[in-house]
Amino acid sequence: MAKSLAELKAIRDKKVNEINLRHGKNGYRVVVGMATCGIAAGARPVMVKLMEEVAANGLNDVTVAQTGCIGSCRLEPIVEVYDGEGNKVTYVHMTPEKVTKVVEQHLTSGKVVDEYTMTIVDGKIISPEVKA
């Protein structure tokens, strides 16, 4: 079937995420700790949810990646969000439910969800944004 210009454009739009992945995206980079401890702690469902939400919200500039052990197994599942400048926010004890809120607030409108970050768990109030 011959494709109209609009149909070609639709193919382009659909592909944009995969293409950005290969060219390097400029937006947030979300990293899920996925080593043995993370997987045991339930990192898989967190990552799957994350991918679903990112796709559902059309966040084509966001990269979802995984990494090995982040180093604090008792805080797993851990999700780290890096912005374009390399600033990092670390979310701990993540669940699929919490992911929805992080995507809605942080990834969509840049508002860090303070209550899920490292600061609360450690019992101290430090800035949730730590320079990577």
Return the number of the residue (14 or 124) whose C-beta is nearest another protein: 14
Q: Least separation, in Å, of the C-beta of 19 and another protein?
A: 5
Q: Least separation, in Å, of the C-beta of 35 and another protein?
A: 5
Q: Least separation, in Å, of the C-beta of 105 and another protein?
A: 19
Phi, psi of 64 (to 5 degrees): -105, 120
Q: Least separation, in Å, of the C-beta of 85 and another protein?
A: 17
Burial class (CB in 10 A: 0-12, 13-18, 19+), 5: exposed
Alpha helix stretches (DSSP H) within the chain: 5-23, 36-40, 43-56, 96-101, 108-109, 118-121
Residues forming contacts to another protein in the complex (CB under 8 A) are: 1-3, 5, 8, 11-12, 14-19, 21-22, 24-25, 29, 31-36, 39, 47-48, 51-52, 54-55, 63-68
Biggest CA-to-CA distance, the chain:
62
Instruction: Read off the DSSP letter of residue 74.
Output: G
Return the number of the residue (47 or 119) whose C-beta is nearest another protein: 47
